[in-house]
Amino acid sequence: MKMIVKTVLTATILFGTGFTYYHVSASDSKYDQLPPEKKDIQERKELNKIKAKNDKITKKDSKDGPAIVQHDREVTAQLLDRIEDPINDSTIKFTNGWISSVKNQVMNGRIVTVEAGALLADPAQGIILVRIDGANRNFQGEKQYKTPEKHGEVKVISYNGFNLKLQAKDGKKWTFNVPSGKFLNN
């Protein structure tokens, strides 16, 4: 009987110590200043990045073919229907975006992401946010560009290389050149 009590007591102490250590170490997040839901999103993204980096193989041999090895692969240029940016969504209402890999030294970095929308403080002011990521998706920087005229929130409607066709809420259109950050009227 004493042996069972001793075992249960030891297990309880070890569990309590591990539980306390987990909760104390989990509070040292670089996202502590964010609201809880945004903190969860950012921490989930970080864990997914670490998992993707550690899991080189993502798919077993199957009827779809051999195993696929994941590296820092090229991103296919495409429009993004949804933007998840917990840092900037407190000041910008995002509509959509665009992502592409960077080739031939058009600009610094490996991946460029463009996020389109309007300022929350001034919904008539359209805005473009250009984010650059380097190797292994390491953040290198971002820059905001306001539309030359206030026509409401903007949306990326098409692209040709690094020239994005934008359309404002009231129908006004521009071409935005991503490397130069310049707006051209259509």
pLDDT > 90 in the chain, percent: 41
**In the predicted structure, residue 56 carries a pLDDT above the cut 60:** no
Question: How far apart, in Å, are the Cα atoms of 178 and each of 71, 117, 125, 149?
Answer: 26, 15, 19, 18
Angle at 112 between CA 50 and CA 102, to 5 degrees: 100
Residue length, the chain?
186
Who wins on pLDDT, 57 or 124? Answer: 124
Question: Is the confidence at residue 9, as pLDDT, over 70?
Answer: no
Instruction: Round the CA-based radius of gyration of the chain to a whole number and report it.
Output: 23
Q: Is 20 left (phi over 0), alpha (psi -120 to 50) or beta?
A: alpha
pLDDT of residue 73: 62
Least reliable range by pLDDT among 40-54, 121-135, 151-165:
40-54
Average pLDDT over the chain reads 80
pLDDT band with cut points at 50, 70 and 90 for residue 96: very high
pLDDT digits (tens, 9 = 90+) for 111-140: 899 999 999 999 999 999 999 888 777 888
Cα gap 71→77, rounded to integer Å: 18
Has this prediction a pTM greater than 0.75? no
